[in-house]
Amino acid sequence: MTVTLSKGERVSLTKADGGTLTQVRMGLGWDAMKKRGLFGSRSQTIDLDASALLFDVGGRLVDQVWFKQLTSTDGAVRHTGDNVTGDGDGDDESIRVDLTKVPGQVTAIVFTVNSFTGQDFSQIENAYCRLVDESDEGEIARYDLSGSGRHTAQIMAKLTRDRSGWSMTAIGAAALGKTFRDLLPAVSRYL
């Protein structure tokens, strides 16, 4: 069963049978809007990048996974590769997380998306992020990145660890930046 989340909504990652998820994938999908011109419309290339930022309880960045570092230092978080166009169906970029291997010091994993090529979100359509249970490919939660605007990035969602396990919170906050580094001041508000 998929839960469609709105900004600020949270979903537990405890399975219906009482077990907990161990392997999840955050998928990002998007399409570039066709540019309209004097001679019809034409395709454009928009390079969105998904990143996972790992924070400790003090809000300090412990590690990051993005197109220049596809695997976290401990191997618990892995990016499947950079899609520079958004072409095709389904997830254009994915980040896999083995929750059992995430170091104990990491209490939050924040997922961001930014337009590396600098186009703003008014030129992007059908954008979403989703959380998938890797054990059965079941979609746990989906967050539509609607609300096109002049921003070049979004702080999508975060996984948070507490005594009862992991949960996901949809953030969907607009931001500006070409890489996750540009987003760190904005991300800190959601830790």
- Residues 2-40: tens digit of each pLDDT: 556 667 777 777 766 666 778 999 998 877 776 665 665
DSSP letter string, 64-98: EEBTTB-B-TTSSEEE----SS--SSS-SEEEEEE
pLDDT score of 118: 84
Amino acid at 74: D
Token pair 């998820």 in the structure block, residue = 21
Q: Name the amino acid, one letter, at 180.
A: F
The CA dihedral of 34, 87, 63, 145, to the nearest 10 degrees, is: 50
Residue-wise pLDDT for 41-81, tens only, equals 666 677 788 999 999 999 999 999 999 999 999 999 999 97
Question: Higher-confidence residue: 141 or 78?
Answer: 78
Q: What is the structure's pLDDT at 119?
A: 81
- pLDDT at residue 120 in the model: 82
